[in-house]
Amino acid sequence: MDSTASREPPDDLNRRLAELNQIGVALSQEKDLNRLLELILIAAKKITNADGGTLYRRHPDQPDALAFEIIRTDSLGVAMGGTTGVKITFPPIQLRDSRGRDNNSMVAAYAVLKDRTVNVADAYLEKGFDFSGTKAFDRHNGYHSQSFLTVPMKNHEDEIIGVLQLINAQDRTTGMVGAFDKTDQRLAESLASQAAVALTNRLLISQLENLFESFIGLLNKAIDEKSPYTGGHCHRVPVLTMLLAEAVHETKTGSHALWHMSDLDRYELKIAALLHDCGKVTTPVHVVDKATKLQTLFDRIHLIDTRFEILKRDAEIAALKAAREPGANHKEIDQSYRGRLWEIQEDREFLRLCNIGGEMMTPQAQARVHDIATKYRWRNPLGEPVDFLTADEVENLTIKAGTLTAAERQVINHHINVTIQMLEALPWPRHLQNVPEYAGGHHERMDGKGYPRGLKGDQMSVQARIMGIADIFEALTARDRPYKPGKTLTESLYILGHMRLNGHIDPDLFDIFIRQRVYELYAKDYLDPVQVDEVDVKKIPGYSGD
């Protein structure tokens, strides 16, 4: 198992050392785990001129096994694992058997258990290890696995996290397969050490990112759980945001043709979208859950129902008294009584309808509420004669659209100020420094009439404008709002089109949303089938066409 003497010319050795330094820099810069693992193995093969190799990892949930991560054999055209999409089906190599005995017969396991590099010149002549699996592979594929260099990967905490195994060292001049020499071994060991640190750092960063995203998920779950009516909003808006962002990234025409995202840009936008409503953690539940105009802790329409019942009772009493008067015209009294009951019932049903809320309440309907408020009188619990409706009830029942008063709308809108305050208080790393701006700008408008800062047009980032459209479309199609059912695609796009014409949303982003059929991609997973109707884009207001 001893390595052979170095056959390396000084100039070639200098070149390989320079390559090793370049590889170290590349390893430290790679962010994607699969690409990092591939880079480690490919770099090790290149620096030792090996024909093949395997990279194994020890996973935290299986510390007594070596899992196959990357496999490469150039002469056979074999590439498995990593970014190839080819799944490795080989079972992990166990470090110990069922009785807890060390598995010293497998060279990769031995390297871990003994914490040493194993350099085998010829597997077919080697007596110390079990290469039966290798020989079976050779027979099946017409290959000859000869030399093996197996190096444990140890991180800065002196923990072996994987194994780098190289197969068949090739002479750089003749291409003949021979043993890995001492220089190969030293370079591979140096690379394995650098790779272990880079891999550990990447895993640590991934764990921190997962922890951070899990915390965000926990916060969003708490927000969604506050109200059964908005559950899922914090999840759906990020999905729609990223769908539209990718569509903008791919567009080649229009004002956003040059707008592109890197992987870091995508991650930054994703985090901002996940946190876009984090300020709602402070929003009172009774405002978020206000399903009807008169709802507080309960729906006060039932109090008004009781008053109407009192009016009906009073009308009956008045009719009975009138009927007892000498010479009373019972027919006229009965007709008057029935007319009064009909009038009371009509006004009662009207107020119940007003209480539901909706897209628009006409001025005539609002005026009728005011008339009803003073048309009837009743005695309050103190026995005082008062108007039929209180000023607060009139204010709520005459809400023009939706179920919130102006004051309640301010309470809801305040969540974006809280969102900005919360996010700006965090020490964001450089690649996430725009999160507060993206998340805090999704209620701004192109015409400057949005909130909280009244930004307009180019004062907003493209990301914030993208999120604004996603937030609106999700709200229009949402099936869990207390005051309305989820709208169809056509209805939602029609409203969105009017918002584009009214200067609410970015017109070019709106065109991309329609042209790239982002709404269809979203609808496939998040809308009920009854909402997914046939959309005639030519009839969508404000759409400029293909």
What type of residue is 508?
Answer: D
Nearest to 416 by CA among 459, 453, 466: 453
Q: Which stretch of DSSP H or E encloses residue 50?
A: strand 50-59
CATH topology of domain 10-205: Beta-Lactamase (3.30.450)
Q: How far is CA 45 from the centre of its chain?
A: 38
pTM of the model: 0.70
d(CA 169, CA 176): 8
Contact criterion met (CB below 8 Å) for 416 and 443: yes
Locate CATH 1.10.3210.10 in the chain. Answer: 227-284+407-539
User: What pLDDT, on the 0 to 100 scale, is given for residue 200?
Assistant: 84
As given in the structure block, the two tokens for residue 169 are 């060292």
Per-residue pLDDT tens, the chain, 546 aa: give them: 444 444 555 557 667 766 766 776 677 777 778 888 888 888 889 989 999 999 999 988 888 999 999 999 999 999 999 889 899 999 999 999 888 999 999 999 999 999 999 999 999 999 889 999 899 999 999 999 999 999 999 988 888 999 999 999 999 889 999 999 999 999 999 888 888 888 888 888 888 888 998 998 888 888 777 766 555 788 899 999 999 999 999 999 889 999 999 999 999 999 999 999 888 888 887 787 787 888 887 889 999 999 999 999 999 999 999 999 998 999 999 999 999 999 999 999 999 999 987 778 999 999 999 999 999 998 888 888 999 999 999 999 999 988 888 888 888 888 899 999 999 999 999 999 999 999 999 999 999 999 999 999 889 999 999 999 999 999 899 876 655 678 999 999 999 999 999 999 999 999 999 999 999 999 999 999 999 999 999 999 999 775
Beta-strand relationship, 62-73 and 93-94 = antiparallel
Beta-strand relationship, 93-94 and 118-120 = unpaired
Angle between helices 489-501 and 462-477 (to 10 degrees): 140
Contact criterion met (CB below 8 Å) for 293 and 354: yes
49: left (phi over 0), alpha (psi -120 to 50) or beta: left
d(CA 380, CA 373): 14
Does the domain made of 227-284+407-539 have the CATH classification 3.40.50.1000? no
d(CA 197, CA 212): 22
d(CA 283, CA 301): 24
Residues 6+ apart with CB under 8 A from 506: 446, 462, 465, 468, 469
Locate CATH 3.30.450.40 in the chain. Answer: 10-205
